[in-house]
Amino acid sequence: MFKYLLVLFSFFLVPLGKGYEVYMKESPRALLMGGSYLTLANDDHALFYNPALLGRNKGIAFYPLNLGIGASFDLDDTDRFDQDYDEPAEVAQAFMNYPVHVSFSSSPGVKVGTWGFNLIYNTQANLLVYNNVHPYLEIDYAYDKGFVTGFAVPIGNEQTGQLSIGASVKYIKREGLFNRFSMLDTEIISAIENNSEPDEIAAALGLGEDKSWGFDLGIDYVKDIGGDKLMAGVSILDAIETKFKDDSNPDAGLYDQPMTVNLGLAYSMNFGPALDVIFTTDLSPINRGYSWEQQFRFGVEVDLPSIDIHWGYNDAGFSYGVELDFWVTSIFAGLYKSNIGKGDFAISSKRALIFVSILDFSYDG
């Protein structure tokens, strides 16, 4: 029934089985707030957004286990898979413009004063069939592991206005594949028929691996205003472009991490001990020629005892979800959108996420 689906998926589902690992930049809270998180990431994801946020930390924080799972989720478009498919053309038509996404991630970490450290374990795979006239299959897969560490130097305090300058260094070992295949050619079938091992099949299709060092810089400003809080920041991620190249496989579809410059502004309003409301907006990235609409991100958080409500918007669409806090455990659940595909064929992908953080510990000192 699904023999052709198995052919299409087999070569990249095997790498997914190696772990739940890719360089994680977006926290679950950020995904549910439209990606607008540059000034709010003073948690276990600080080093993935702005190392200067470490300047706000006053004590010790430990995040031993946080596991995130994401997948495509569109209840309005499932009828297309109710039929049997016997030909590749039928399979291509069923998946036409339907973005498939799977991701697993974890980034255990620790913060001691203004120093922080996170391990990196993350993987994601995106699949898209597009172009009705000449169908193409686009594969975007990455599997990263490594670490990131950094520090910040704070000047002043939050009551009078605290300015922090931060820097971090990261080491990433990346296994990845980004390639497009014509559904009318036999490139995929030939790769499977001519190679006996899963790793050989993946390499023939463009899978490669390399390791690299990267550097991030940031500035953070935070000020208390009568119980409310104003936050602003700038981050330069991959300040020296983080490059990957597999010399043993020149045709490998590895991709680099270009430098991105990001701006953020947020305002937290305090309505008493049981209610805070945060409004946040980012422009990201501002240095890569994207339109203003593509850069703009906006989010809202309503912070209640034991539960936070999140809402956001970016150029892909709206997002929303909740966070439940139970002592040393946090659970995120929600829906968000992200663009998948490149250039004129980029479309919005509807996704669901579940994120669990267990045994979090912090002491402000």
Residue pair 75/44 in contact (Cβ under 8 Å)? The answer is: no
User: What pLDDT sits at residue 99?
Assistant: 80
Backbone angles phi, psi at 59, to 5 degrees: -135, -135
Summary mean pLDDT of the chain: 84
User: What pLDDT sits at residue 359?
Assistant: 84
Q: Which residue has the higher pLDDT, 329 or 194?
A: 329
**What is the C-alpha to C-alpha distance for residues 351 and 347, in angstroms, rounded to an integer?**
13
Mean pLDDT of the region 3-31: 51
Give the least confident one: 10-19, 61-70, 75-84, 203-212: 10-19
Residue 282 has pLDDT above 60, yes or no: yes
User: What pLDDT sits at residue 78?
Assistant: 61
User: What pLDDT sits at residue 193?
Assistant: 73
Q: Which residue has the higher pLDDT, 8 or 293?
A: 293
**What is the C-alpha to C-alpha distance for residues 331 and 73, in angstroms, rounded to an integer?**
19
User: What pLDDT sits at residue 16?
Assistant: 35
| Model pLDDT for residues 318-341, shown as the tens digit of each residue | 999 999 998 889 999 999 988 765
Residue 284 has pLDDT above 90, yes or no: yes
Q: Which residue has the higher pLDDT, 339 or 87?
A: 339
Residue-wise DSSP of 316-351 = TEEEEEEEEEETTEEEEEEEEEEEES-GGG-EEEEE
What is the tally of helices (H) and strands (E) in the chain? 7, 17
User: What pLDDT sits at residue 164?
Assistant: 98
| Model pLDDT for residues 261-274, shown as the tens digit of each residue | 999 999 999 999 89
Mean pLDDT of the region 53-63: 94
- Domain spans of the chain, in order of start: 3-363
User: What pLDDT sits at residue 88?
Assistant: 60
Residue 12 has pLDDT above 90, yes or no: no
| Model pLDDT for residues 146-161, shown as the tens digit of each residue | 999 999 999 999 999 9
User: What pLDDT sits at residue 91?
Assistant: 66
Split at pLDDT 50, 70, 90, the class of 365 is: low
User: What pLDDT sits at residue 11?
Assistant: 39
Fold category of 3-363 in CATH: Porin (2.40.160)
Split at pLDDT 50, 70, 90, the class of 200 is: confident
Split at pLDDT 50, 70, 90, the class of 14 is: very low
Split at pLDDT 50, 70, 90, the class of 92 is: low
In three-state secondary structure terms, 352 is strand
Mean pLDDT of the region 71-80: 71
Sign of CA dihedral 255, 282, 33, 319: negative
- 300's tokens: 């809202």
Mean pLDDT of the region 30-55: 95
User: What pLDDT sits at residue 83?
Assistant: 65
